[in-house]
Structure 1
Amino acid sequence: MAAVNFELKNYQKESLGKFEQYLVDTEEMGANLAFYKLTSLPYRDAPNIADGTPYVCLRVPTGGGKTLMAAVSVGIAAKSHMQTPNPMVLWLVPSTPIKYQTLAALKNVDHPYRAALMEQFGRNVSVMDKDEALAMSRADAEGGACIIVSTIQSFKRDDKDGLKAYQDSGALMDHFSGLKDEQTEHLEKVEGTHRPIASLVNLLRLHRPMVIVDEAHNARSALSFDTLENFHPSLILELTATPQTEYEPKKEKYPSNILHSVSAAELKAEQMIKLPIRLTTNSDWQKTIGAALDCRHSLEEAAQAERAETKEYIRPIILFQAQSASKNDPARITYDVIKKHLLEDKLIPEDQIAVHTGPEKDLDGLDVLSEDCDVRYIITQSKLKEGWDCPFAYVLCSVAEQRSGTAVEQILGRILRMPKAKRKTIDVLNRAYAFVASANFNATAEALKDGLVEGSGFNKQEVNELVTDNSDLGFDRFRNETDFESEPVEIDHTPVVEVQKKISELPVRVRARLSFNEEKNTFVYKGQMSKEDRNLVQLKMANVAGADKAIDRLYQETNGYQRSQAADIDKPPFIVPGLVFSEQGKLELFKRDHFLDLPWRLDECDATSILDRFTLRLDSKRGELDVTQKGKMEIRFIDRMHDDLLAVVHEPSWNIPRLANWIDTGIKKQDVTKPSSVMFMKKVLDALIYQGGFTLDELVRNKFDLRRAVSDLIGDLREVRETQNYSALFSVDASKFAVSAEEGVIFDEQTYAYNQPHKGGYRFQKHYATLIGDLKDSGEEYDCAKYLDQMDAVQYWIRNVEQKPNSFWLQLPKYKFYPDFVALLKDGRILVVEYKGAYLYNDDDAKSKRFIGEVWANASEGKCLFVMPTERRFDEIDKIAGV
């Protein structure tokens, strides 16, 4: 069976990394303090759920891949919190159609969701719905990850179907044989006896399931939380685009604990969604439909041209939103009126039209993505088939006057997903289009923006940039394959052959359109240049004198921009050179590989320090934690959960090789080979048994604590190794460092990503992107940003956001360093600013950052500057810039 790719996007890795760190911290400090540590926000226990139960939410806008993240989260929770190789998971979805869709994907071994589970649990994965779970075998429950997909409604006692989950079942009797008293303590009993009811709910209680709540905003009532408590969950993870944030118990409003929020900018930067939405309004509904049809026809032309160049198949689809029928208004534009207009007036073949509203359900069983499907027009009313997501949907055409965000939120998100999550070479295919029958453009635009916030989970600060005027679609320029020629460039210092070589190194789609006229010293580009391709060419030609301005003007000309049309057209390219290292005569971006020999011989390290790190958790110590103080009760919750999970599975006999392999398998070590790692684990066990006096049984009973201690030891050993090798490299090979724009980053509105947009009242004038990411609205760092914005020497500056794919970074021994701000000075120099509070200024981390920043600046021969001001001494910025 071929491997299935489910590579995570950067924002997905960041979100799940936060989730993993939260669970690790929960083991040490409880759910409450762990949440505050990562968010600086107060934590609210889930209503009616046991105190100490981890209960957090990952907020991901529409199109962000929540289901894949949920699948990956199972392995994270099993290792970092439940600490079991066979977790039981109750995966709750908002509706029956989505349940069937999720089940089909998780059961399909060729689907990325199943691949994500198999990466952690191999083939030991069971996926079932509630009806199948009512006859679950003990092997399914204990043999690996057991995933039960259902709706929360199907577990409510007051529902006839839900009651089945609480009733005695002969098929489940085997699960309750041989239980100890402490295991049956919290199980429901047969009336008048001490025998546990052999029910599915009791089985879930026994296994302390992880509960995943998909689209969690649909399960917020007190009754929903009562139902969740019936399962005695180990943790609750919510995934939704629109989490509840208000706390009004009387109205059954209970807020989610939002651990991490993903922004629209991140989805856009990762090429997940089509943005902006280009809006056109017209009070005449027939003209509105006509304009939408013209747009779709042009998009299909663009899609055919895209396929000729990239082989990717796209069939653009219009989603028509009709008005509801009314006995009092027979003139309403209902779905049948639209269909008749398409068939009779527009002569569209009937097999290209699908209706999914009221009695007609044409989408059921229809594979819209298949090349054999002819559907190009889908008519609905308020919402589409639940769980239906089609990246071919490019155009929303609504004949219903849009007066609120809720009127469009159900359908607006359907046109946002980018086909194959990858930007297209023809730029018109990177946007979505909305045509609305309305006499008021501004009111309609606001309604669409409200829909993006209320229904798709985007931030209020972002949506102003996400809905734009559609007066110029750009289709004529896409069709224009004219050759556009740049102004001449100076090539005195760059031979023509070197320019040609640089062109040959560009991606196929770019070099097929770009050429260099050797007689005129000009660049020639065929057709419309996308901003992404402009950036690629700018980076590649960064060292060619005058190429930056020539390419930028060429980009403007191929797109037909007038210099007064858009504020960002006159912005110069913002290229920041990277720090490079000379490796065998080749300049490469400086990273960990240059100072770490891989693989790491972990088995050669001293394992005996484990004796100072590992101790047994005595029962008496556990008892002391069972007190009324809430923080300690949370720790008691963790201990009780681990005991419950250990008791429910009968493990085979253990020996030293098996325990060594078990510890090794549970620790991430991409820099160590398996034999070296297992050998180190055996050294650890030998030290504990022969020098520490521990028995094998004691180590097995406390194996999760032992694995955590070993993981910490390996982390410390790795840190020592990295720091030593890093320092040695600079002392021996300092002359091998340089800077190179070709290995740098180019800041751009399209790829500028952040977690949260800045909300402060001060209006910044020189920030390169329209929105500013992850900047607080007060404090020393904020004041530093204001100072940069007001400096005469600064042409543009940008907030450099950590851990984003298109941010500037420098390599430190342990991690990548992302400075706070990067500025483009008017004289062309690049200024990097890292602000540090006085209490951190002289710690080792700050010293390391100053060191590598100065190495980068010195290697640039005056073209790049680095400064680390503190205590609001912003005059240091002036001094380094020479102003």
Structure 2
Amino acid sequence: MELKEYQQGVLSKLDRYLTVLAEQKEDAEDLLTVKKSKGKTAKLGDYCRDAWDQLNTERLLPYLHQGGNAVVAPYLSRHDGLHRSIPNICLKVPTGGGKTLLATASLERVQTDYFKRQTGLVLWVVPSEAIYRQTWKQLADREHPYRQMLERASGGRVKMLEKTDAFTRRDVESQLCVMLLMLPSAARKSKETLRLFRDSGRFTSFFPVEDDSEANSTLLDQVPNLDQNDLSDIGFGEGVVPGSVSIKQSLGNVLRLVRPVVVIDEGHKAYSDTARDTLAGFNPRFVLELSATPNTNKKHQSNVLVNVPGADLKDEEMIKLPINVFNEAKGGWKHTLTQAHEKQRELENAAKAFQAESGRYIRPIVLIRVERTGKDQRDAAQVHAEDAREYLRDQLGVKEETIRLKTSSADELADEDLLSATSPVRFIITKDALREGWDCPFAYALAILSRTTATTALTQMIGRVLRQPQARATGLPALDECYVFTFDQDVTQAVNGVRKGLEDEGMADLASSVKSVDPGTGQPQNVRRETLHRRGKFADLPPIFLPRVLHRDPTAEDGYRPLDYDRDVLGSLDWDALELLGADKAALDDDKLERTVARVTIDRKAKETGQTVFELEQEAVEALPEEGIDTPFLVRQLLDVVPNPWQGMRLLDETLAALRAEGVTNEQIYVNRLDLVQHMKADLRAQVNAMAEQLFHEKLESGDIALRLVSSHDPALNWKIAETLEVAVSDVDPLLHRKNGEPLEKSLFEKVYQKEFNELEKNTAWYLDESQCIYWWHRIAVNQGSYGLQGWQRHRVYPDLLACVHGVDEGKFRFSVLETKGDHLKGNDDTEYKRKLFDLLTRYAEMTSTVGQLDLEDDGTPIRFNMLMEQDWRQSLTEEGV
């Protein structure tokens, strides 16, 4: 599964944190050893805080907003039941940003890179039943990408558990056990009444027998926070020896013994003292929290390691924006539902046309929020689910099979796959059942059929219609936006409700993307459309064009057409030259072919003392199914690297033949198949990228590929900077000024809004505006079909800024195209690819001597592409003469 750029950035920062954490822990342990060797009483220092402080020194921690100020929140230490420091961090990721994906990818790193182990227990805490079911479905499916990450982390030995399941010490020692737990189970108020803390006969392998007081005492000395039995309650009654100890054989105590890695989903819902104290009391080795809206106050605080803004999801095409809010001032709920129905028909027609052109299937769905759902709650005063169903069916002509009811008592969706082309569902009626834990990117519109609770409903449910199908924009505005329908509401309150919903989903920075639409005119309200013009001194500039990456085509009017990645790069590769170079280096774990079985008995001779005997045996695992290795499945896993299935099958057959020639059995191949596929994909991807890069070089050298302007004004061949910009702004959106508060002077357009810039981009813009070398600059990554550069990898590169730079000779200019990158992305594959592409395009740029009336330098390079890293961006600009 390919990670988005911001997800790679999250994991890159986590990698750095784990490296620093390991170094600080080693230093703390060395210091403790020295102190003890000198006879001093000492305990391990707070290496977790020290690691955090080092990251702060390295300026790798995000700024969060507190009291209107952007600050790095102070670190809050947490300690387990034995007063040991717990590494605890939070990944702040908006809803729809792939929190579960990042959790599994992070677990893989924590297990293998930090703890250097593939076994143990992971306690995965979720806040609600809906999220529990969704997470279980994903992690229990062996073919799901999330589960495959866990399989890699464990060497193919994952055991999924619920709190009612029995498991043994051997399970934890030989497998990666992942237990899902509902938050209420951890937020105990009475430990005697919750099953988690009751004595159980299911965990005998973890404890001495109840009446072996000496063994119980020894274990309690080692782990003092274990719960104990009242011996009189378990049948010993009179005659109990004073000081006798019996440890409860409960799940809670098992967790304290095995010291799980704890994952807290929706961590902001686990801030109660009881929940935090209980989770810390499980003696966790590591706590990983994921939240869209973590708290940062001093008492209940999350240590936010990464703050992913909503803009990152927007840039990666994962969410539908803007949000269009339609409010009918004079109509009722029936008219509102009619509007939503019309929008669904409009969107479905657009989706069918889009499918005919692209092959992508989308079936727009409307969520309908009603006031009542219960069988005995239907009256004329409030809108009931059956009222909405009947109006859709009887008045609007909607087919019965396309309508579903989803409530706490009636679940007509059941396990239906809403993304399947065979699903008829187009309308889902609910009240509160879909407030969280529901994920269907085909949901496009939200209809709120209530007056009194409309604002609350908007806040709670807006996240359900944000996700973009296939996490990929269509390029059609109608299908790349989402829609909200209300009636008889204060428009400002409705818009603020949607904005509050975005904030609650961790996307406060996108609140300005909400547009209130007048139902009559279709024009935005409150958030206005503003036309921006060129700054006065640049108003008379003629049209300005930037070159695109083109491919030679003798049949085209200008001899060139836009570079097509599939046709001109992948289609030209010599796929027969691909081979798995490291087939013999694939790690195939023999241990997976057998397991250890522990049988716990009581020796007759030792019965009176209560001693137990462990009989350990090895038994073979019948891993290979009767049908053998599913080679089509393995080939499908390779298609994102090798798009030709015949070549994929050839490579797989050659790899399996090479392994078998080395004496590897089919059983070994089967149990290691996921690791093998990942190894193949990494190896083959490197080869494909290398071949594609070489081909790209060769075609640049021969002139088959060119970065150049052509005489045609075809927008597919030349990218034109807009002469006016249409932007959606509100009264609260601030303009960007110079750092000293003075107005900008060199921006190409008269107004520039702060919301379009992150901190690094803002700093760069300030620098450009004050530089004597700059004629004008412009933010090119927003507001208009962004300027994209196609290279030898599939995804295009969209630079951030364009600067027109004074040349050496008077009246001569050159262009500098700038891409900014945070330090957490330094050195990763995407950053290095962009750097190499920029260097190459700078070398081969071809342009006419003028662009409009701007005379470009004849000598040197008329256009340069520069990568600016956060740590040394100013130095890079200086070296480029900017």
Shift of residue 156, structure 1, vs aligned partner: 4.2
Instruction: Point out where structure 2 has 5 or more consecutive residues left out of the alignment.
Output: 25-46, 63-71, 209-214, 231-242, 524-545, 574-579, 586-615, 619-693, 710-716, 726-732, 807-811, 822-833, 846-859
Give the superposition deviation at 1:412.
Answer: 0.9
Aligned: 1:464 with 2:515: no
One of 174, 178, 201 as aligned partner of 1:143:
174
Q: What is the match of residue 204 of structure 2? A: 173
Provide Cα deviations, 1:113-137, integer angstroms capped at 9, x if missing partner.
21111122232111111001xx212
Contact 1:737/1:859 (<8 A) preserved: no
TM-score between both structures, scaled by the size of structure 1: 0.59
One-letter identity of the residue aligned with 1:457: G
Q: Tell me whether 1:796 sits opposite 2:784 in the alignment.
A: no
SS in 1 for 2:755: coil
Render the CA deviation track for 1:604-655: whole Å, top value 9, x for unaligned. xxxxxxxxxxxxxxxxxxxxxxxxxxxxxxxxxxxxxxxxxxxxxx999xxx
Residue equivalent to 1:35: 52
1:163 to 170, 174, 194: 194
Are 1:231 and 2:282 matched, yes or no? yes
The verdict on how the C-alpha distance between 1:875 and 1:130 changes in structure 2, with shifts beyond 3 A counting, is closer
Partner of 1:389: 439
Name the CA distance, whole Å, in 1 between partners of 2:617 and 2:22: 23
Which residue identity lines up with residue 315 of structure 1 in the other structure?
Answer: R
Residue 219 of structure 1, CA deviation: 1.0
Structure 1 residue matching 2:423: 3-state secondary structure: coil
Between the aligned partners of 1:875 and 1:175, the Cα distance in structure 2 is 59
Q: Structure 1: which 5+ runs fail to align?
A: 1-5, 475-488, 512-539, 541-582, 588-597, 604-649, 653-728, 751-756, 812-816, 837-848
Are the structure 2 counterparts of residues 32 and 126 from structure 1 closer, same or farther at C-alpha, using a change threshold of 3 Å?
same
Provide closer, same or farther for how the CA distance between residues 399 and 32 of structure 1 changes in structure 2, counting only shifts above 3 A: same
Residue identity opposite 1:464 in structure 2: S
**Equivalent in the alignment of 1:217:** 268
Residues 324-372 of structure 1, C-alpha deviations (whole Å, 9 max, x = no match): 5999995433433323322332232332222234644333444433444
Equivalents in 2 of 1:130, 1:747: separation in Å?
A: 60
**Which of 112, 116, 130 pairs up with 1:79?**
112
- Give the match for residue 332 of structure 1: 382
SS at match of 2:413: coil
1:506–1:736 distance in 2 versus 1, CA, 3 Å:
closer
Partner of 1:775: 759
Match of 2:767 in 1: 784
1:115 equivalent in alignment to 2:129 = no
Q: What is the deviation of 1:203?
A: 1.6
The answer to whether the 8 Å contact 2:86/2:287 transfers is yes
Per-residue CA deviations over 1:161-188 (Å, capped at 9, x if unaligned) read 9633223333212123599767445534
* Structural mapping, 1:681-692, within 5 Å: none
1:151–1:341 distance in 2 versus 1, CA, 3 Å: same
- Give the alignment of 1:252-651 within 5 angstroms: 254-283=300-329, 284-285=331-332, 286-323=334-371, 330-357=380-407, 359-384=409-434, 386-401=436-451, 406-424=456-474, 426-438=476-488, 440-454=490-504, 456-459=505-508, 461-467=509-515, 469=517, 496-497=554-555, 502-503=560-561, 506=564
Conservation of the 8 A alpha-carbon contact between 2:777 and 2:802: no
Q: Offset of 1:67 from its aligned partner? A: 1.2
2:296 — aligned with what?
A: 245
Distance 1:867 1:166, change over 3 A: closer
Which amino acid in structure 2 is aligned with residue 823 of structure 1?
A
5 Å matches for 1:747-766?
766=748
Write out aligned runs for 1:97-116 (5 A): 97-116=130-149
**Which residue of 1 is the match for residue 9 of structure 2?**
14
Instruction: Tell me the amino acid that sits aligned with residue 741 of structure 1.
Output: L
Q: Is the 8 A contact 1:810 1:853 kept in 2?
A: no
Change (3 A) 1:162 1:129: farther
Distance 2:758 2:364 in 1: 36
Following superposition, the deviation at residue 101 of structure 1 comes to 2.6
Task: Name the CA distance, whole Å, in 2 between partners of 1:786 and 1:194.
Answer: 75
Structure 1 position 56 matched with structure 2 position 89 = yes
Q: Secondary structure at the match of 1:245?
A: coil
Q: 1:184 to 1:331 in 2, by over 3 A?
A: closer
Aligned counterparts of 1:54 and 1:745: Cα–Cα separation in 2:
52
Matched length = 616
| 1:200 pairs with 2:251 | yes
Local SS of the residue matching 2:555: helix
Q: Deviations over 1:680-720 (max 9, x none)?
A: xxxxxxxxxxxxxxxxxxxxxxxxxxxxxxxxxxxxxxxxx
Determine the C-alpha separation between the residues in 2 that align with 1:385 and 1:876.
Answer: 48
Indicate the SS of the match to 1:389.
coil
Q: CA deviation at 1:447?
A: 2.2
TM-score (norm 2): 0.59
- Structure 1 residues 114 and 808 mapped into 2: Cα distance closer, same or farther (>3 Å)? same
Aligned CA RMSD, in angstroms, stands at: 5.3
Letter in 2 for 1:830: F
Worse-matched range after superposition: 15-24 or 337-346: 337-346
Structure 1 residue identity aligned to 2:258: H
Identify the residue that residue 541 of structure 2 maps to in structure 1: none
Question: Which amino acid in 2 is paired with 1:94?
Answer: P
Counterparts of 1:852 and 1:374 in 2: how far apart (Å)? 45
For the residue of structure 2 that corresponds to 1:7, the secondary structure is: coil
Do the aligned residues in 2 keep the contact of 1:276 with 1:468 (CA within 8 Å)? no
Q: Sort the Cα spacing of 1:260 and 1:189 in 2 relative to 1 into closer, same or farther, 3 A.
A: same
Q: Which letter does structure 1 place at the counterpart of 2:92?
A: R
State how far apart, in whole Å, the 1-side matches of 2:401 and 2:762 are.
59
Secondary structure, counterpart of 1:410 in structure 2: helix
Work out whether residues 404 and 450 of structure 1, in 8 Å CA contact, stay in contact via their aligned partners in 2. Answer: no
Q: Provide the residue aligned with 2:19 in structure 1.
A: 24
Structure 1 residues 878, 422: closer, same or farther in 2, change over 3 A?
A: closer
Deviation at 1:262, TM superposition (A): 1.6
The one-letter amino acid of 2:468's match is: M
Q: Is the 8 A contact 1:268 1:274 kept in 2?
A: yes
Cα deviation, 1:589-614, whole Å, max 9, x if unaligned, reads xxxxxxxxx989xx9xxxxxxxxxxx
> Contact 2:838–2:865 (CA<8 Å) still a contact in 1?
yes
Q: Give the letter aligned to residue 50 of structure 2.
A: L
1:864 paired to 2:847: no
For the residues of structure 1 that align with 2:735 and 2:115, how far apart are their CA atoms? 38
2:707 to 741, 751, 756: 741
Number of the residue aligned with 1:667: none
2:823 equivalent to 1:823: no
CA contact (8 A) 2:787 2:798 kept: no
User: In the alignment, is the contact (CA less than 8 A) between 1:405 and 1:449 conserved in 2?
Assistant: no
Distance 1:23 1:761 in 2: 39
1:213-262 Cα offsets, whole Å, 9 max, x none, are 01111111001111112210111111121212333x4xxxx121111122
Residue 793 of structure 1 aligns with an amino acid whose one-letter code is Y
Task: Looking at secondary structure, tell me which structure has more helix per residue.
Answer: 1
Could you say if the C-alpha distance between residues 772 and 440 of structure 1 is closer, same or farther in structure 2, counting changes exceeding 3 Å?
A: same
Return the offset for 1:389.
1.4
Instruction: Please tell me the residue identity of whatever aligns with 1:31.
Output: C
Contact 1:93 1:150 in 2 (8 A): yes
CA distance in 1, matches of 2:791, 2:560: 25
The offset of 1:868, in angstroms, is 12
Q: 1:172 to 1:745 in 2, by over 3 A?
A: farther
Q: Letter of the 2:206 partner, please give it.
A: H
1: CA distance, partners of 2:872 / 2:162: 59
